Amino acid sequence: MSQKSNSDNARKYSKKIVDGTAQAPSRSMLRAVGFGDNDFKKSQVGIASTWSMVTPCNMHINTLAEEVGKGVDEAGAKSVIYNTITISDGISMGTEGMKYSLVSREVIADSIEAVSACMGHDGIIAIGGCDKNMPGCLMGLARLNRPSIFVYGGTILPGENHTDIVSVFEAVGGHAKGDIPITQLEHIEKTAIPGAGSCGGMYTANTMASAIEALGMSLPNSSAQNAVSDSKKEDCINAGKAIKHLLDHDIKPSDIMTKEAFENAITLIITLGGSTNAVLHLIAMADAVGVEVTLDDFVRIGKRTPVIADLRPSGRYLMSELIEIGGIQALMKRLLDAGMLHGDCMTVTGKTMAENLANVSDYPDGQDIILPFDKAIKKDSHLVILKGNLAPEGAVSKITGKEGLSFTGKAKVYESEEQAFAAIIDGEVVANDVVVIRYEGPKGGPGMREMLSPTSAIMGKGLGDDVALITDGRFSGGSRGFVIGHVTPEAYEGGPIALVENGDSITIDAETHQMNINVSDEVLAARRENWRKPEARYKRGLLAKYAKTVSSASTGAVTDKAD
């Protein structure tokens, strides 16, 4: 892709804020925050920091933002750091507060769009370190479509005895079963999270960081660095410097976030065994830049893409261990050499994906984290898109094959996550049950909560091979087992999941991509006649506004549609 250098493009937006006598008041205010005479002649780069002390995932990002700022300033532009919000799934999981999790993705995108559009930033560098703020950042950058780079905050180091946050959730189930004494649960609680960084497995944060690198929107290897490390600081400085080239050549997200680039991201996350949330987020990120990505794309790409990374939650290793052998660059090189990536996609380096990967070395001999293609964990995608009479518009499952490829059981229906979790802990859920959790979708929840608490309780109770769980909510990247989420249409919209009754037989088949309730059409029709849409749970505030504007999970659960 050829791009012409155009110095005027580099100040396309900021010159409207600071040039001319009429803008003297603007300059006066900017002088108070550190601008000098020469700064008004430079490109302005907004640095969107997701720093806060609400979660270890983001507690260090203020220092990373400062490093990015140094890189921007050294390259001859002017850095302007500002903050957007973040929430913590890991802290709010299983509570009413978790309803704000997916909502926060929209708030983050809106806030980045609002600040950088208002302030006339010529370019933007966003730094994220937790599940929703990464896609939120990318959606904001895509909407603005100004030269942009994403920087990942980095992964956390392992806790004592190779533990992480999922170890704590599963220990709760183990304690309820009687296998783990309270003293051991307390010890795991105190030692599993040793410091700053995103949750350590191939959960949603590391999945999305890897996807964004494959998309071309972060520098090579940005996704595979420990949060607290010299390499992460260097990544930040380099990102700050790299924005200048994008500004000078007017390379924008729309030049990078193409359909082919999204196909690269989907391919990579499948090989890594990544989170089901990637389906929701990649569809939403594509929508923000005007590219159509659908559930069918995951089906099509999934048929030819194997799972070859032995990473948690279903595997053995943590992201920090993948970093030790070289991160994801060597995996991407393998995929490129196998003809599974589009090498001609532009990236934020100003080079194509193939050019970035040209001199990448393979993994060291003897490593068993990334397996050869002919020894794949699963020959095709673990992200299985299901349809059928329970999910006419689709549902998303994460089935590695270790759980089996089909499941038939009797429904146990719960109207909320809390009801289901209590039933699992109390022993109400037994082998051969299909736990149905409904009215937790984007509109019905509202907010589409993640179900790490019930899925971890199932695993901790030793029922992981014997119980399935379906929901119109979502799953954490840390969830494992025979679990199906994103069921659409959701229960609140009258989807078939609203019609399931206790004792109904449900069959889930990952090979035929079907999920069906084994009752007649006549019975379902009679139940539909008696179904009534529940009253909205929230009448005012953010959740009420979200419920009125959010789209179906099958289209990314986005809220910025004018129609």
Active site residues: 476
How many Cα atoms occupy the beta-carbon half-sphere of 31 within 13 Å?
Answer: 9
Q: How big, in percent rounded to 5, are the helix, strand and coil portions of the chain?
A: 45, 15, 40
In contact, 273 and 309? CB cutoff 8 Å = yes
Q: What is the DSSP string of 388-405?
A: STT-TTEEEEE--STT-S
Contact status, residue 397 vs residue 502, Cβ threshold 8 Å: no
Output the CA–CA distances (angstroms, integers) from residue 22 to 15, 35, 138, in the order listed: 12, 18, 34
Closest by Cα among 42, 33, 35 to 14? 42
Residue linked to tokens 């990505």: 293
Following DSSP, what letter does each residue of 125-138 receive, concatenated? EEEE-STTHHHHHH
Distance CA 226, CA 196 (A): 9
Binding site, by residue number, is 57, 89, 131-132, 450
Alpha helices in 446-563 (DSSP H): 452-460, 521-530, 541-549
Angle at Cα 267 formed by Cα 263 and Cα 270, nearest 5°? 140
**Of the candidates 467, 394, 456, the residue with the CA atom closest to the CA atom of residue 428:** 467
Residue positions forming the annotated binding site for Mg(2+): 89, 131-132, 450
Question: How many other CB atoms are found less than 10 A from the CB of residue 94?
Answer: 19
